[in-house]
Structure 1
Amino acid sequence: MIETIVGLLGLALGAAVAFFYAMNASAKSADGKIRRAEEECKRITSQARDEAETQKKEILVNAKDEAMRLVAEREKEFRQQRQELVDIERRIAQREEKIEQRSEAVGKRENTITVREKELDEKHEQADQIVEKQRKELERIAGLNQETAKQIILDELRQKMSYELAQKAKNMEEEAKDKALQKAREVILGSVQRIASEYTAEVTVSAVPLPSEEIKGKIIGREGRNIRTFETATGVDLLVDDTPEVVTISCFDPVRREIGKLALEKLITDGRIHPGRIEEVVEQATREFEDRLKLEGDQALLEVGLQQAKPELVKLLGRLRFRTSYGQNVLAHSIEVAMLSAHMANELGLDARKAKRAGIFHDIGKAVDREREGSHDELGAEILRKNGEPIEVVEAARLHHSDIAPTSVYAVLVQAADAISASRPGARRESFEAYIQRLESLETIAKSFRGVEKTYAIQAGREIRVIVKPKDIDDVLAYQMARDIAARIENELTYPGTIKVTVIREVRYTENAK
């Protein structure tokens, strides 16, 4: 087929060449052209045949090489697969050998286990016989049967479980206290934010009625001169707003607020309101208020049966009429403390008048604690010392809120009376017999518990301290004892306020160095 193609190509080329020569040769004859064309055609045909033969040989050689390469690759893959099969057969044989060895080992182990099970069964039977024999021997020696011994064990277990439960209860209560403290802070903070402004407005302002709205203009004055003069002279804030026929005086100091109210009422009644008149009326109101303070102090002393006191103390005592503490009027509280102290002093055969003085003046420092630095008990003791009061009265004022041991019995009486009055504001005075009975009841309840060494009812019966024996009571049992004592007090006694139960467990180790 290749030869045919080559022949056709040669003919085509020859025809083309002949046609070319025929068209371009003008001087030669047609025969010469044909002959040369035939020769050229033969030459081209021969050359094409040679080239085709060469390409044919090359194709055959390449095909033979490719076939040999493919055969070699197939033989190589076959050898690899055969080697893999040989390796797999070898591994299978090894595994079968190992399985046979393991089967033999398992069989031997099963035989060993069977033998040991029989031995264990025999030993269990022997152990049961020995235990039964020992149990009978123990019952004979101890004189206890199985049920009695079981009850003893249960009692010990119950005691141990009670100890563990008390420990867990202590941990849970401590955790609950921490969470409750945080929650209480949040609640109190929220409550303060909601009602602080209302409460402050209620206790720090005084309203003064006006006969007409025209008075407001006079109070303010031209360019506010009158109101500025009034606020400067009295130290209060005067609020003139749209409230009909009312102006408001605001100040944290109740004495200044009362003087301002008195002066403003006088100015409204007089009708002449200008800076000069304002200063004059404020001075007059201040003098009248000083007289009122003296009158309040004299009435308080008269109420408790005392008459002799220096004028400065009388005025300071009168200032307590306008001072409150935790919602309780301080002067009324002082009168109650004086009467309670005197009542207890009479029962103990002490000087009732000295007890009254210590009670009526114990909070005298609250009359000046807004103006001076220091606590009211230290300020009160300093004032009483400067005014020549007896040392018992001074000490009662200084120590009625202190943990320091009082140096006189009158300080103890005032401390107890102050606690009673503060815990029950507005209540009837408690008799000395009821007070002593309540203290004895607290100590009796505490002493009824096992391991208690000493008991002390303090703070006018608002706290009971229990000292336990450290060898009999550990920390967990002390915690449980405090809870049990508090529960019995709640169930058996009637008392105002709250009673704090403190259980003290103290261990001391002493060694002498030689």
Structure 2
Amino acid sequence: MDFSIVVGVMGVAAGAAGGWLLNRIISAKALAESKTLAERILEEARKEAQAHKKEIILQTQDELYKQKLEHEKEVKEREGQLVRKESSLQEKLDKLESKLEKATQKESDLLAQEKRLSHQEKILGEKEESLAESAQVQERKLEEISGLTADEAKRVLMAEMESRTRHEAARMIRQIETEAKEEASKKSKEILALAIQRYAGDYVSEQTVTAVTLPSEEMKGRIIGREGRNIRALEAATGVDLIIDDTPETVILSAFSPIRRQVAKMALERLITDGRIHPARIEDIVKKCEQEFEVKLRELGEQATFDVGVHGIHAEIVKLLGQLHYRTSYSQNVLQHSLEVASLCGIMASELGLDVKKAKRAGLLHDIGKAVDHEIEGPHAIIGYDLAKKFGESKDITHAIQAHHEDVPPKTVYAVLVQAADSLSGARPGARKELLSSYVKRLEDLENIATNFDGVSKAYAIQAGREIRVVVDSDAVDDDKTHVLCKDIAKNIEENLTYPGQIRVTVIRERRAVGFAK
């Protein structure tokens, strides 16, 4: 074998052996370092575990200490409660012992008192027997002296006592009757005064004229208009007579109907403010004022129901209540009268333990028929009954309305209450005047006579009933028929009405053409 090859092979073998040995040395070193690192990590883990263990032990000890403190605190509180309860029980025990001692003492006192009473009762019995014996002795002596027996003496004495007693009783009866009459009169006056005092109402005596203030005297001429066309248009539209005289800056509206006067006043004031016064404008303003007045009537009715505290009334009845504000009965404002009757019914119902709201409702609506009795024939109580029934009022309410003037016999206590309250409100001194009611009725009859003729569209009694102004339909009545109609109306008035002086009948016929420029 070539020597060089042998040397090469040996070199290779020596290199391999050296590499293996080097790897063993490096591996042994790495292994030693790994063991050292593992031991260090293990030691650190042990130390950390020991520290964590100590921390847990400390936390556990703290928690146990806190629980111990809380437990001791709770024990102390309970001990304190027990001490307080024990003290309270001891106080109660002491009081009971004190009461027991007092009861024992009272029992001893009562026993002693009972013994004294028994002794006194025994003494009184002995005295009573002694007195009875003495009375018998005296009675025998009296019989011997008077010659009468005890029964005879009793009869004589009783007869004499009876005679004296009868005389005295008759005198006392006369005195009691006199005092009773005086007391009854005094008491009745007090009750009446109390009832009136508990309801203090304002009463307005309705007049037949209303004054409207003008901004200047020049305005009078504008109201009259050319050849009086403006004033005629205003009177025809409202049914109110306008009196323009020498009174400075004032126009008088005259009509028996306060509703017409109110509408006319509203229209005239609005025309004065607007400044445009001519027949077409007057008619438009009057229509608008009538519509606004309808709203005002509803507001007045709603206010009345609010004042009384009654709710759920039909809107039409509320409107009729508003109309009562402008109606009068014997010069007494009917709405104020209704409010007063409602208040009095409520007072009496409260005293009797009845339904106060139902009583007030019946009192408020009892005169509702007067709002339309000039349009519908019949007693206002029956008219009101029909209206209330139509708009869903209960039987108690409708019956109270129907029976408040004895048109039908009252069958419920509410009907009797309304009768009593209505009488109290109307019969008190100064509440009503017969004269004005008769006067208003005559004016209503005057208008009704005129409107009964064919062709008449409107009729207005003006000038305090001294004139009747009749507006006819121009298509149904021609110029010639107006004269005949005027005489017929005047003749009918003469035959059916009684009135002072004379009544002027004016028949108005006019034809109008209305167009619009667009």
Q: Quick check: which has more Rg, 1 or 2?
A: 1
TM-score category of the 2 structures, normalised to the smaller one: 0.3 to 0.5
Larger relative contact order (C-alpha < 8 A, sep ≥ 6)?
2
